[in-house]
Structure 1
Amino acid sequence: MPTILRSSTRVVLLLAVAAVLLIGIHLSSFSPLRRWRHSTIGVFTATPDSAPSIADPDSPPCQQLGRPDDVVVVMRTGATEIKDKLPVHLNTTFRCYPDVLIFSDYAEIFGGQQVHDVLADIDDDLKRNKDDFEHYRRLQRLGRDGLQVDELHGESFESGPIGKSDNPGWRLDKWKFLPMIAQSLRLRPEKKVFVFVEPDTYIVWSNMVRWLDKIDATKPLYYGSEVQIGHDVFAHGGTGFVMTRPAMEVGAREYQEHTDEWHQRTAIHWAGDCILGTALTKAGVPLQWSWPMFQGGKPADLSWRDSKSGRHLWCTPALSYHHLQTPEIEDTWGWEQQHIARTLVNQDTRSFWHHDDTILHHKDLFNDYVLPNISASRTDWDNFSLDLVPDTEGTSLDHCQKHCDTTENCVQYSFGPKGCSTSTNFYLGAVSTQDIVSGWKANMIDASMRQMPSCQGQRGWIL
């Protein structure tokens, strides 16, 4: 299988040690979670067997893996969310990506980054007459500061079965996908691989670059976490998806040659990622099913026992997570940098690329990221225990804990204004503003962990 990875670089031990120290200092301002227990593609800028040239002494360890110049990360966002969601990426994930394109519904310079109007090339008559574009028309007239307070939304929350149809920015979003493919290709015609994300998507970059090195970027390939609406199968947009340049060319050509057809389809649909997947399938580029590497949830709320078609989430390398809020992106990024730094202390970059034990699997994020932050109890914390126990409002946390102790398979509980809730699944959860206290039964979780798949022979990439 062809590859576009050149020889990897050897990182000087001193740089890796310095990175560990720098990351340790930098992480001191990160998330409210407890500190962790553990203290490839394209043309690389460094020559073989030499250390990468790092001008910034504060550069994160991810930069020491090399700079894959044939890859671009494409972020799709909107004016209603950019102020709240983009800054964290400027300080974290964007420092790892070799190249970034940002598309929105409003062109501007934000944090020193050019934000492109992805809808600029859509026919003016369509933008003048479609109700979906009323929000866009006002943006172009008044700018982002002209938005009303109730139109702005900062952090991500689960949408309903047909999305967030009451949000004007969300209704406009479905029109961005096909133009985004055409514009990305025009702005970065030399790139071989395009990684598409949203602001609440987290890419496990140390894994992503290694996985991309395994795929054949000369073929039209379209990867992501599969979703189906009716007969249409497509990659879920927020989970992140990947396209090779030949696939991009096929998609752009299909859109440009049948623009009216795809605009008509978009107008009556609610999911732009579905429209994109349908267009690619029609043009001969079906989705390569890539679950569970790509995840629609985040480490705090995953069901770790999930499996499908013989693939176990627990045993699979992790490429992406979705619905992360700003502190969670900071925290996950910091944790990954620690992983890279420690790995580079123990072995050089050449070994990193060729040793499977340096791959981060979903189970590694549970063991090293989730489990160390599960304790007997945590105040102002919601661990997503959803089974509300009747007639427990006004009781106590002790009463709730005793109920869990006497309930079969109960592994966690929480107590709040509505009473006691329990769960037979374990979740880390998130900070709560509703005066909720959460607790876990460590012995039950340990017993459940012993029943998880052994992953023997099941820990490879999905290609």
Structure 2
Amino acid sequence: MLPTSRPSRILLAPRLLILVALVWAFVWVSGFPRTYDDEELPPGHPLLQNKPVATVVPHPVEAEQVVVAIKTTATDALSKIPPMLLLTHQSNHEQLLILGDMQMHIGTFQVHDVLDRTDADLLAHSPDLERYRKQVQYASHHRDIPSLTEKNLQKEKEVRESMDKYKYLRMLERAWDFLPERLWYVFVDTDTFLVRSNLLNWLGQHDSGEEHFFRNPPDLDSNAPFALGGSTFVLSVGAMRLLFTEREGVVSAWEERISKFSSGYDVLKSALSSELNLEGNHTWPGISGFNPHTVPYGPDVWCEPVIALEGVSAGLQSDIWRLQRDREEYQHRMDPLTFMDLWQRFIQPEGMTNARDDWDNLCSSPDNARWNILFEEAEQKLHGAEHMRHMDRDEEGRAKSGEKSWEACRKSCNGHEHCVQWSYSSTLEPNHNENGKTKCHLSRSFRLGGWLDPQEIKVNGENMQRKWASGWRRDRFEEFAKHQRCKGQQN
């Protein structure tokens, strides 16, 4: 007789029950929410990517407590202000002021004439205010105001600077009149792009009740680059209150002295220094006169938050706005917008592997002097503090001459381990350092620059054509970028 299999079936049933229980338990546990301490996760883990960055803000600032005043002119208000308004969130419109040199409207927005309180005799006779008088005349005859713009760019610049001298203090006065007792007052130009989230975080590091004057550009003798055209400045309520509630008629009193100054910015600095003993704190690199194409990318700026950019065209303003929108709404990123982000969006997609004719990447620009690499034959012409500023470059070693041709200049850059770009001019051009005037210009900063047509110039009375060629060592800079990770970086 065959043995029965019943005992085996009896033993199998409990095993099946245990297996089912284990499977059910696994499914149940796997449904638990997975939480970890940040220290347990490796850098770059997906769970860290959308985590808000904790920022200590000792003096929190709400957007409605920050006045942004845009300085404009009657000749370009209608063309330059609308793009700024379009890219400014509606919630910030109540704190927005447009301050110019002629009363006008742009849709529902009013442009305020800050010169309408200027002394009548000055308005009627000052050579500095000739453009203002012409604007009044043109407006009364319904003539086209922008047609007053000089065709010669240098002459137009001088005309605007002459009027600006009388506008700066009046802008402060008008901002206080319209929106008094706000915590902060930010004054910008029509080509300025503000990253408001970074602006609020930065302002929150300072007590608005104290007298603060944050300014750009820095002085020419400072260690920060003088970004030509930069003019953004910030005043605290403490400074504004002291200027306008305790010093009645201060602006009118200063108007008699204004003609002696070279620019409105000089008037502002002198007035705040004399009246409030306020010299100002530099804002580099967060606030500068650079735009994404002219920023000197490198270790000095890489992880720094971008607060304000200048010299930004309407098209580029729109592109930066889209970058912010993509980060905040689509990628849900809460970390500050940094110069690294500008590099990744605006510079990295550029080829920049071959040399470009008729292109100036700003190696020899005055605002690039601190990154301009010195050559072996450069004389030790600078002394004192100025020489000390360049000692770090001596320690890095000097470059060999590249004067003979753009190919020789490129070779010189290739031979210097810190060189990431070069430019070559057909005529001798200044480097604003010990190099003096050269044709070859090397740099430790990485900048895109832009197209520059050949120019007819006079050199020692002789007509010559100045042309530029530029090139980059993108591979070197990419190697630098690859090894950088900013604090709070989410990607």
User: TM-score with structure 1 length normalisation?
Assistant: 0.66
Alignment of 1:24-423 (within 5 A): 41-42=61-62, 68-93=63-88, 95=90, 97-98=92-93, 99-143=95-139, 145-147=143-145, 149=147, 151=149, 167-225=158-216, 227-228=218-219, 238-253=230-245, 256-259=248-251, 261-284=253-276, 286=278, 287-305=280-298, 312-344=300-332, 352=334, 358-377=335-354, 382=359, 384=361, 386=363, 403=411, 407-409=415-417, 410-412=419-421, 423=442
- Specify the alignment match of 1:45 in structure 2: none
Aligned to 2:384: none
Amino acid at match of 1:408: H
Contact 2:149 2:156 in 1 (8 A): no
Show the counterpart of 1:9: none
Aligned residues: 363
Question: Would the alpha carbon gap of residues 132 and 386 (structure 1) be closer, same or farther in structure 2, given more than 3 Å must change?
Answer: same
Name the amino acid aligned to 2:286.
Answer: M
Calculate percent identity across the aligned residue pairs. 24
Distance in structure 2 (CA, Å) of the matches to 1:238 and 1:402: 31
- What's the CA shift for 1:128? 0.9
Q: Which residue is equivalent to 1:430?
A: 450
Post-superposition CA distance 1:36-91 (Å, at most 9, x none): xxxx623xxxxxxxxxxxxxxxxxxxxxxxxx222221001112332332232122
- C-alpha distance in 2 between matches for 1:166 and 1:456: 41
Tell me how far 1:117 sits from its aligned partner: 0.2
User: What is the alpha-carbon distance in structure 2 between the residues aligned to residue 417 and residue 340 of structure 1?
Assistant: 46
Deviations 1:382-435 (A, max 9, x none): 351557976659xxxxx69975775535534679999x9764342122356669
Shift of 1:94: 5.7
| 8 Å Cα contact 1:197/1:239 also seen in 2 | yes
Give 5+ residue unaligned stretches, structure 2.
Answer: 1-59, 365-400, 428-438, 455-466
1:50 aligns to what? Answer: none
* C-alpha spacing 1:93/1:414, structure 2 compared with 1 (3 Å): farther
Name the CA shift for 1:320/1:242 in 2 (closer, same or farther; >3 Å): same
Q: Is the 8 A contact 2:75 2:147 kept in 1?
A: no
- CA distance 1:73–1:321, shift in 2 (3 Å): same
Distance 1:301 1:228, change over 3 A: same
Structure 1 runs not aligned, ≥5 long: 1-39, 43-67, 307-311, 347-351, 353-357, 394-398
Matched to 1:246, the amino acid is G
Letter of the aligned partner of 1:372 in structure 2?
P
Pairwise CA RMSD: 4.1
Residue aligned with 1:313, SS: coil
Mapped contact 1:197–1:238 kept (Cα < 8 A): no
> Which structure would you say has the larger Rg?
2
Bigger RCO (CA 8 Å, 6+ sep): 1
Amino acid at match of 1:282: S
| Distance of 1:255 and 1:105 partners within structure 2 | 24
Aligned to 1:444: 476
Three-state SS of the structure 2 residue aligned to 1:116 is: strand
